[in-house]
Amino acid sequence: MANAEKVEVPVIGMDCMECTQHVNRSISRLPGISHVEVFLTSEKAVIQLDPDLVSEREIHKAIRDAGYEVVPLSEKRLEIPGSEYSKPILTLLGIVFGVVLFVVVVGEWLGLFEVVTQLVPWYIALPLIGLLGYPVFRKVIKAAFQRQIISHTLMSVGVIAACITGEWATAVVLVFFMRVGDYVERFTAERARRAIKDLAAMAPQSARVQGKTGETEIPIGDVKAGDTVIVRPGELIPVDGEVIAGHATIDQASITGEAMPVEAGPGAHVFAATVAQLGSIRVRTAGIGTDTTFGKIIQLVEEAEAHRANVQRVADKFSSYYLPIVLGIAAVTMFIRRDPIATVAVLVVACSCAFALATPIAMLASIGAGAKHGLLIKGGKYLETLAGADVLLIDKTGTLTLGQPQIVKVMVNDKGWHLMDTAAVKTMPPADLEFIHLAAAAERYSEHPLAEAVRHLYEELGFTPAEPDDFRALPGVGVQADVAGKQVVVGLQRLTADLPGDIERITTQLLSQGATLIYVHIDGQLQGVLGAQDTLRPEVPQAIGELLGLGFSHVELLTGDNAYAAADLAKDLKIKYRAELLPEDKIRIVKEYQNQGHTVVMVGDGVNDAPALAQADVGIAMGAAGSDVAIEAAHIALLREDWNLVPDVVRIARRTMRVVKMNIGFTAVYNLLGLTLAAFGYLPPVFAAALQSIPDLGILANSSRLIKQK
């Protein structure tokens, strides 16, 4: 489609996945539509279209013809839809439902219901049926004009059958319970939306911008990149950007889920929807609205429905066959038993949306709850896959480690070569530290992490690196510079082919301990060796132990570092390793496991690991807050750098799948039992109507446990 365009249309009134399918089919029939995704939780349709062939007005009409409402984006509600049904109203509805149910059940049991049925004239019952059932009948009629059968079609047929047989009171009660079921389904859908809507409600609506004439508060949509935004104590930060003045303590829980606040001063990056608890700052705007990290999180969580789990696809497919099957059972019941009452009961008991709700309610509950705690899960598909994964591949630098190497050992030539740690170096006379002084000066303008480690060591000794002359980077070697008239070369390669035995012995010892060696040559002679090691994240050993306990059959470290460093770390963590790998090597290893039938999880930092994260069945990016690459490449993004989140998200996935299986099992057994009792005449239509909302309530109660999980 050469002239493709993407539009979003808010759709109001959808209560279950069947509703989204109904809207999808209505829009898809229009010319010029190439793709449609309808989302229950965010109440919107995302449509790829050719504007030369179809207009938004035609799309709106198709949605309304399907029985749903359209509102302009500017009027789209941030509060939870359905929140107008306050607790008192819901309580009153529950009381009325309970009273009516009690009267009906007791009346049926005592045989009084037949007497009441005979006393209710048609000219009273019929208006009541039309008035109470109009919203549902309207949807059924619109669906019929579009040659579609929806779940309410069955109960509507049941109501018509009750009227034909003269069971007017039964028809009235059926309509009442049909409306109660409607409210239950709507309430169930709203509970699934709650976590996501709570996130959306946190989005800033205005910003205080510094202008030529002073401070002005403007709508967030009017803020532009480069504007200076002023944030005072206790206020939401409205944009992503860099602090250019001031200092504040920032609560970033809305982004990372981390309870502990962070300190932010000039040069720090801050995120929209976080709170400046203490202090005032000025922020140079870099991202606004959907271009902020918070905006991307909301958008991805809203659209997580697009990545449906396989079990959900099976349930959706079953739902499409379920209604014709029920109509068939009703026809067989009528043909064999010649009992219109039993036939009505079959139609009524089967009208619940429970099968369609069983999977998405649980998935969306976990996705929404995870987003509030720093876990960005892109869809139920990845929760399902993660729950069954058996291979875990892990990047090293920036993932298991902090990505900030430090000098831990120093080898000096002081009347013979010997090794000391950095604490001993700090006690040495300054005159004996000349090679460190020269190395720090040569590395002054290098951006390499190891250069930063050398400078950091020198600064810890209380000095500032000198200004080098003729600084040059030497590819494959390191850096070269002239310092105080001496030529200094610092790097990973030694310039001399042969070294004295004691040096060779010490360097081998350092390498075996996982250190990276930095050789310092002055005027062509080796004067010292620095041993650098990356720092392991303190929570990693416990987290890896938990993952091994969760049953991963293969846990392997993949790194571009040398084999000595990888072996030392892997030994401590009791896992396998492969070292000196390029990015394409990591992809090859992922494919090797996949070709053997394994389900692979890859954990990386989302930058250099992006290809491997995308290739894995589930890619998990560490510390993805503010990183577009990490958020785009990974299937699950951990918004803060905390390895405890990795076993947490595995447990969440497995818990979610247990809930899904319980929902599906409960719904299947309930419907089978209900259809059987109804078909054999043991379940009167009134009871069937009263009981058809129970599966929805059961699914809601079971799935709600996931909303509150920590």
pLDDT digits (tens, 9 = 90+) for 113-134: 555 555 566 777 788 888 888 8
Residue 276 near residue 233 (C-beta atoms within 8 A): yes
Tokens of 28: 């898809």
**Residue-by-residue DSSP string for 310-332:** HHHHHHHHHHHHHHHHHHHHHHH
Q: Report the distance separating Cα 589 and Cα 569, nearest Å.
A: 20
Q: Which long-range contacts (CB under 8 A, 24 or more apart) does 471-477 make?
A: 471/442, 471/444, 471/445, 473/446
Among 128, 142, 143, 141, smallest CA distance to 179 is for 128
For the ranges 255-259, 340-344, 705-709, the maximum mean pLDDT occurs at 340-344
Query: What are the DSSP calls for 462-511, one per residue?
Result: T--PPPPEEEEEETTTEEEEEETTEEEEEESS-S-S---HHHHHHHHHHH
Is it the case that residue 638 has pLDDT exceeding 90? no
3-state secondary structure 234-268: CCECCCEEEEEEEEEEEECHHHHCCCCCEEECCCC
Average pLDDT over residues 279-306: 80
Q: What is the mean pLDDT of the chain?
A: 79
Per-residue pLDDT reduced to its tens digit, 408-438:
888 877 666 777 887 777 777 777 778 888 8
Q: What is the pLDDT of residues 1-38, one digit of tens each?
A: 556 788 888 888 776 667 787 888 889 889 888 888 88
- Whether the pLDDT of residue 101 is over 60: the answer is no
> Considering only 182-186, 193-197, 257-261, 677-681, which range has the smallest mean pLDDT?
193-197
What is the β-pairing status of strands 240-251 and 275-287? antiparallel
pTM score above 0.85: no
Backbone conformation region of residue 4, classed left if phi is above 0, alpha if psi is from -120 to 50, else beta:
beta
Could you tell me which residues are beta bridge partners of residue 530? 410, 518
Distance (Å, whole) CA 45 – CA 109? 47
Winning range, highest mean pLDDT, from 107-121, 126-140, 214-228, 683-697: 214-228
Between strands 391-395 and 600-604, the pairing is parallel
DSSP bridge partners of 287? 240
Find out whether 356 and 286 touch, Cβ atoms under 8 Å. Answer: no
Q: Which two tokens stand for residue 492?
A: 């990973």
- One-letter amino acid identity for 382? Y
Helix (H) or strand (E) holding 700: helix 694-707
Q: Residue 615: is its pLDDT beyond 80?
A: yes
pLDDT of residue 340: 83
- For residues 202 and 272, give the distance between their C-alpha atoms in angstroms, rounded to a whole number: 10
Contacts for 435 with CB less than 8 Å, ≥ 6 apart: 412, 520, 522, 527, 528
Residue 561 among the catalytic residues: no
From 302-306, 550-554, 598-602, the region with the lowest mean pLDDT: 302-306
What tokens were used for 1?
A: 């489609």
Q: How far, in Å, CA of 325 to CA of 332, rounded? A: 11
Return d(Cα 27, Cα 58) in angstroms, integer. 9
pLDDT at 462: 79
Answer yes or no: are the C-beta atoms of 541 and 452 closer than 8 Å: no
How far is it, in rounded angstroms, from Cα 199 to Cα 255? Answer: 10
Return the pLDDT at 649: 93
Strands of the sheet containing 576-578, edge to edge, are: 375-377, 636-638, 618-621, 600-604, 391-395, 554-558, 576-578
pLDDT at 602 over 90: yes
Strand pairing category for 478-483 and 486-491: antiparallel
Catalytic position from the list 227, 395, 534, 605 = 395
Q: How far apart are CA 215 and CA 217, in angstroms?
A: 7
**What percent of the chain stands above pLDDT 70?**
81
pLDDT band at 518 (very low <50, low <70, confident <90, very high): confident
> pLDDT, tens digit, for every residue of 446-467?
877 788 888 888 888 878 888 8
Closest CA to 233 of 266, 282, 280, 281: 280
For residue 615, what are its two tokens?
């290739």
Interatomic CA distance for residues 174 and 165, integer angstroms: 14
What's the CA gap between 494 and 236, in Å, rounded?
53
* 522 has pLDDT over 50: yes
Residue 703: in which H helix or E strand, if any?
A: helix 694-707
SS3 of the chain: helix, strand, coil, percent, to 5: 50, 20, 30
pLDDT value for 184: 66
* Residue 91 CB contacts under 8 Å (≥ 6 apart), including other chains: none
Q: Do the Cβ atoms of 642 and 624 come closer than 8 Å?
A: no
Q: What is the mean pLDDT of residues 73-81?
A: 43
Digit-coded pLDDT (tens) for 328-385: 888 898 888 888 888 888 887 876 567 777 787 788 888 878 877 888 888 888 999 9
544: how many CB neighbours lie within 10 A of its CB? 23
What gap in Å lies between CA 447 and CA 449, rounded to an integer? 6
Contact 552, 392 (CB under 8 A): yes
- Per the model's pLDDT, the better-predicted residue between 388 and 401 turns out to be 388
Please name the residues in contact with 489: beta carbons below 8 A apart, sequence gap of 6 or more.
442, 474, 477, 478, 479, 480, 495, 520, 521
Q: What is the pLDDT of residues 293-336, one digit of tens each?
A: 888 777 777 666 666 667 766 766 776 677 788 888 888 988 88
Q: Which two tokens stand for residue 304?
A: 């997580």
**Mean pLDDT of the 196-200 span:** 67
According to the model, what pLDDT value does residue 127 have?
84
Q: Reduce the DSSP state of residue 411 to 3 states and report it.
A: strand
Handedness of CA 331, 332, 338, 339 (dihedral sign): negative
Dihedral over Cα of 94, 178, 9, 2: its sign: positive
